[in-house]
Amino acid sequence: MRLAIIVLAAGRSRRFGSRDKLRVPLEGRPVAQHVVRLLRGQPSAIRIVVLRDRRLAGMFRGFRVVRIDRAAQGLSLAAGLRAATRAGASHALVLLADMPRVTRADLRRILHGALTHPAMASAKTPMPPALIPRHLFPLALANRRDQGAGAILRQRPDLILHELAEAHLVDIDRPQDLVRLRPKAIAAGSAES
């Protein structure tokens, strides 16, 4: 398997307010740095990041940077898959830069047994991380309705869902999402259970 790991980091953070959520600190580092740190354990993979804001590129050292002008989800995915195709990838593992709790064990589960079937994480619904085999790249590249990988792969009867811990699949969209991830909030939540 020649794996391309595509990190989508081109969103506008509109629901987060005036700050860029990927730059906001979480446990001593910007949110986006958590996914970078996670991927240090994947040395043989082709690493690609799709950005809209050039200023984020410094956080993704060692990644092939693909810059797009618009933040549409489908455009980000397509740009990443085109870069993966050029690099000769047989599979693309799609991650979001605003999901700081995904673990290496989660990635191993998504990649386990990967051949021709697409795979996605699932807590209550299918979501990233998502694995797309190369023969399905054209399906995502032909997408004209700005759908992300999830909307496209959920239509596949051969989709494999890997149940992962819901706490690992937190997607930071609003400031309150970040607050729930801070250690004190987590500790308080455990004490209440």
Q: Look up the pTM and report it.
A: 0.87
In 6-121, which residue ranges form alpha helices assigned H by DSSP? 31-38, 73-86, 104-111
CA atoms within 13 A on the CB side of 66: 26
pLDDT band at 59 (very low <50, low <70, confident <90, very high): very high
* Mean predicted confidence (pLDDT) in 37-51: 88
Query: Given a cut of 80, is residue 183 above it in pLDDT?
Result: no
Q: What's the pLDDT at 191?
A: 35
Q: What's the pLDDT at 24?
A: 85
pLDDT band at 94 (very low <50, low <70, confident <90, very high): very high
Closest CA to 25 of 171, 173, 166, 181: 181
Q: What's the pLDDT at 106?
A: 95
Average pLDDT across the chain, whole number? 83
pLDDT band at 139 (very low <50, low <70, confident <90, very high): confident
Q: What's the pLDDT at 25?
A: 86
For residues 130 and 147, is the Cβ–Cβ distance under 8 A? no
Q: What's the pLDDT at 173?
A: 76
Residues linked to residue 9 through DSSP beta bridges, in sequence order: 51
Q: How far apart are CA 2 and CA 68, in angstroms?
A: 24
Q: How would CATH label the architecture of 3-192?
A: Alpha-Beta Complex (3.90)
* Mean predicted confidence (pLDDT) in 160-166: 92
Query: Given a cut of 50, is residue 17 above it in pLDDT?
Result: yes
